[in-house]
Structure 1
């Protein structure tokens, strides 16, 4: 026992005398970001996203999730359309033909498996908001800590049902959140599309800073013209949130990655490739 104690003390002293070893044990920051295909769809009429324009014009959408490898563990942003949709031959067809018909070419579970990741490996997650194209697979990760704005969590669902299982571990936010405490992954409160909508700032060592939009904006033309979709819960909040994102982009010299923008997504590296 004495010999083991001396050995432990000697190893501790060696670590303290070696700054590199100490830094290795105290690693921080984002290491990788994977872009995941979480759905593809077609909207029958995009005028609801562009009030006064594009009546009757159809448009292809994508639905994107992002898996982040941080030195302290795996973090998932958004969970996309439910994996069960992959088994539907005609996709998830909405009652309203103007809305989006969603398909699931690849399940989230299969994409994680390809990366060698089990759902239990994802210790923390967040969703931009509680529309079903972003929360479809939350319960694949029943033990993962969910970061969500309190305003979103408390927002009644259909027939006043809760938006998440009460048993799901959650941290309710009332503003921005530095997820790992090192500034590398920051949840940004961006309400307007829904009461507690949020976006995500990620700082990558080589790629630089990226803001993941959620649905603060749906596609590039809406961003460039600061258009607010008619289904948003608050127009003024939506406009203010877009300005907050613009200010963040300028401050951090960041790129804006727009969740549903197919043209942009088609230029990006998809998992198993990654950004570092």
Structure 2
């Protein structure tokens, strides 16, 4: 009997791990300069230049690693003058740190990332998707099926994919939820992350580009749908209120400069 108790009691008092996100890292996935920010806020600040940033987010959930957006292609780090646009009003991008090097700094390899999602398919968000060829990709079906240049597919057909039609609970415990926020592109999505100490955060993708856009509900001229963009902004606003969440605007340098960057993290 004593031997039996010795075997049973210790396991009975080991608490189960609480479900949820352990860590959220912000990765530097690019820095740039916009030639004319009125391209993102028509009629406002015409001809004014502005710095942009490009963030990726790495989430540790138990033994699982999930990445949100993959930023500009790491190859841009090799361009001395960065990647310049054909139209000087748009963004000149640089890559001060590669995504691969930031994973290495955390003791990770691309093979450790088992699942991923991208807010949408513009190059500053999908530049390194195939660094993770075996990671399950969560994307809205409307984005996946949206024809690319010359009707080319926007994703490598062999990449594992889960096509979504609306919101999706990534881990099944409510801690990481993909939110359908179309408008910037047909299948744009944002991410709601709930952290034990930091609280809830909405990662905007490009539903909004900088705080001025958010405050004034500015819709970039090149967005897929102005009506859907405005509806998605309102939806995000409702989620912020309901979840008492922060809004982290992906390209807003002034905000990002106040946040902790990897290898520091939020929990």
Q: Could you say whether these structures have the same fold, taking a TM-score greater than 0.5 normalized by the shorter chain as the test?
A: yes
Task: State whether structure 2 residue 132 is matched by structure 1 residue 141.
Answer: yes
Q: 1:180 to 1:15 in 2, by over 3 A?
A: farther
2:224 and 2:84 mapped to 1: Cα distance? 24
Alignment of 1:45-194 (within 5 A): 45-194=36-185
Q: 1:15 to 1:152 in 2, by over 3 A?
A: farther
2:159 and 2:262 mapped to 1: Cα distance? 27
- Return the offset for 1:64: 0.3
- Return the offset for 1:179: 0.3
- Return the offset for 1:47: 1.0
Alignment of 1:193-272 (within 5 A): 193-272=184-263
1:254 and 1:164 mapped to 2: Cα distance? 32
Q: Normalising by structure 1, what TM-score?
A: 0.93
Task: State whether structure 2 residue 48 is matched by structure 1 residue 37.
Answer: no
- Return the offset for 1:98: 0.7
1:108 and 1:274 mapped to 2: Cα distance? 16
Structure 1 gaps of 5+ residues are 1-6
2:177 and 2:114 mapped to 1: Cα distance? 16
Deviation per residue, 1:209-229 (Å, 9 max, x gap) = 000000000000110111111
2:41 and 2:262 mapped to 1: Cα distance? 31
User: In 2, are the aligned partners of 1:185 and 1:202 still within 8 Å (CA)?
Assistant: yes
Q: CA RMSD in A?
A: 1.5
Q: Normalising by structure 2, what TM-score?
A: 0.96
1:192 and 1:54 mapped to 2: Cα distance? 22
Q: 1:15 to 1:200 in 2, by over 3 A?
A: farther
Task: Show structure 1 runs of 4+ deviating over 2 A.
Answer: 13-18
2:34 and 2:114 mapped to 1: Cα distance? 34
How many residues end up aligned between the 2 structures? 264
1:47 and 1:253 mapped to 2: Cα distance? 31
1:14 and 1:112 mapped to 2: Cα distance? 40
- Return the offset for 1:54: 1.6
1:74 and 1:236 mapped to 2: Cα distance? 35
Q: 1:33 aligns to what SS in structure 2?
A: strand
- Return the offset for 1:14: 4.9
